[in-house]
Copies of this chain bind each other. A is one copy, B any other.
Amino acid sequence: MYIKDIGEHQLLSIINQYCDQTINGDDGAIIAFDSDRNLVVTTDILVENVHFSDRTTPPESIGYRGVTANLSDIAAMGGMPIGITVGLSLRGDTEINWVEKLYQGMKKCLAPYNINIVGGDITKSETNTISITALGKVSASHSIYRHQAQVGDVILVTGNHGLSRAGLEILLFPEKYSHLPPQIREKVIFAHQYPKPRLEVIKYLYELCQYGYRIAGMDSSDGLADAILQICHQSKVGARLDRTSIIVDEAITTIIGRKTAFEWVLYGGEDFELVLCLPLNLAKKIQQEFGEKCQIIGQITSSLEVQIIEQQNSNLQLSLNQKKTFQHF
């Protein structure tokens, strides 16, 4: 039996047997380190022609996005990063300039957080592959897990969704969208190529709640819908989303029309926003601090469904359950 016969889901369940049984299904792993601080660690692999191609992503952006994906996982666990390691497998015919641009992109993403590339390995391969491991600190009282959402929590997102997916579209089919205003194209391409991890929100939460909090959450790397469904699944709750609170950026609507735009907002992925389930008063403080991009888009319910409601007419517009979505992805 081969991997191609069973797919990722079943392969993961086989591999999970060999992994730490106390760690499951979060963006990163939290490991006991000292009495008051734990270590949070996360790993991502980027493979040429699977996760990136020269067609859509210059090397600087590959490095930047790779680091963002990892730092976003650290943020999603409530951690602050302390460093990353980079493992590179490279074809001999890779240009030196490509490697330099890759590292420049990584450094650019790391710079605002004052952290470094602390280690790594380089080796030959037939396929260019970048494996990044990010390390962070988190205290037990500030750890964020997917499984701890509670009925009555509001759901807050730290920014808009769907822009990265729209950027990918423009990069894949540039001629098709060449008639659009440059500022629209540039906006979504930038969102795709240089997404930011939302560490500033975690930093703010540490300062605001020095003695800790209970927040459930993850990042939206696999899409907003996926994040909400994962949190609900692991917390054994449901959610009721307010259609009008879910912002659809005008740029996306201009590119692809209203209906598909909303699909991209829900399922697009790679926006690397945080999706947090927390008490209303805490959510409001985050909104006050970071402005209108932080939106409360719904709340956690005891029903196990995730529903999207158009508030004006109370029409049920969309109802997702885990099963439907696992087929979807």
Contacts and interface: CB of A to CB of B under 8 A. Distances in A.
Nearest to A11: B122
B20 A96 contact: no
Given A125-B127, A133-B133, A4 B42 contact: no
A11 to B, nearest CB: 6
A275 interface: no
A16 to B, nearest CB: 9
Contacts of A11: 96, 99, 122
A92 B4 contact: yes
A106 B17 CA distance: 12
A83 B32 CA distance: 10
A6 B96 contact: yes
B92 A2 contact: yes
B100 A14 contact: yes
A89 B127 contact: yes
A116 interface: yes
Contacts of A43: 85-87, 119-121, 131, 133
A118 interface: yes
A29 interface: yes
Interface stretch (A44-52, A142-150, A205-213, A247-255): A44-52
B33 A37 contact: yes
A320 interface: no
A41 B124 contact: no
Given A97-B1, A106-B18, A50 B125 contact: yes
Interface string A224-238: 000000000000000
B33 A33 contact: yes
A32 B114 CA distance: 14
Interface string A76-120: 000000110111111111111101100110110000000011111
B15 A99 contact: yes
B1 A83 contact: no
A34 interface: yes
A72 interface: no
B83 A3 contact: no
A31 to B, nearest CB: 5
A129 to B, nearest CB: 6
Contact of A29 (B3, B5, B85, B122): B85
Given A50-B124, A121-B44, A92 B3 contact: yes
Nearest to A124: B50
Given A83-B20, A92-B3, A121 B45 contact: yes
Contacts of A51: 123
B33 A93 contact: no
A247 B88 CA distance: 37
List 10 A-B pairs, minimum CB-CB distance, nearest first. Answer: A4-B92, A20-B116, A18-B103, A29-B119, A131-B131, A127-B127, A29-B118, A133-B133, A19-B117, A43-B85
Interface of A: 1-6, 8, 11-12, 14-15, 17-20, 23, 28-29, 31-34, 36-37, 39, 41-45, 47, 49-51, 82-83, 85-97, 99-100, 103-104, 106-107, 116-127, 129, 131, 133, 135, 137
